[in-house]
Structure 1
């Protein structure tokens, strides 16, 4: 039987979720705070149902930590309906998003659908000290996770997909920044500057091609 971890601090809702899952034939472990959930062996579960507003440790912090080493499916269950929160949840590696209040039948349907899907095989790319994880939308330098915004990741991923080739500023703005204002190029330059700073030693791979745009070089001209 599938083993599910429920992380929910609300006693009434937690009881409802656990009861619903157990009646559907699942084995359930219930944690009521983020610190307890953080100590769990996440790989021992088939799926996680995760609240965001938790005591001690925020749900997003748990999700980010788990995604450093695990692909266990995570369904975010929360009263937060803001689009920004949903986007952040998916960008950090959430697999589904259920807002409160919800029908128990809906939750079970989403759980069953997620469990039927095959596990995603991580796709990664190494360039020097940098590793880009495409599926997880994460970047590590020398094994340490780099905190990039959605736009910063998209710019970096685009340049790495064209490794050693120049990509014009116009192409990057069109592909990544969408409907930007007249200051699109200036906005792009600011993003690139921030990416370089965040990448540290690996920042030298992100080169400026004067008069054209940018390039991510496998062998940078300037050594760190």
Structure 2
């Protein structure tokens, strides 16, 4: 399988605090990875390094889809982020516009200009997440599970090879969380690489994937 992320001997720091050291792992297309560990163990920090929200200063190698995170320029970061779909726990949808408006905002911000192409892509991603008939709804009119499906649709807009989901079921009831985990696994089976940070180890049992554990300032790949 095609490796799209490769870290070797990477140190991750927040402020003057060492969060993770000697981080070494690789991620491949079409694979599903669970990222687990206690609160404050470095899960979110590790994810944020992958889209250059937390900078990396030292390591032997930190490459992601052709970008070198150890030397990436600020001007390159938007292009890196277009290759990554990010699913947030707290949705981060724009409350003053519809589902379609939220998705259109992202496409226009990432260089899409043709109205027909924009409308077609919005229809396509909403169908992929089972929300084809919800494009006119405002975020507050949707349930938590429906909002998370829209967030996943938003993450898919630019056809990313890598999807990072940071506690995507954390604010959902167990049944809805189960459905979201199932949807993310479908995307992995379709060829996306998915990394899902979670505290719910039952999901890892119900939906098998590779396990990465943050513990004692180390990343343990099982």
Same fold (TM over 0.5): no
Structure in which a larger fraction of residues adopt strand: 2
Greater radius of gyration (CA): 1
* TM-score for the superposition, normalised by structure 2: 0.29
| Higher relative contact order, chain-length normalized (CA < 8 Å, sep 6+) | 2
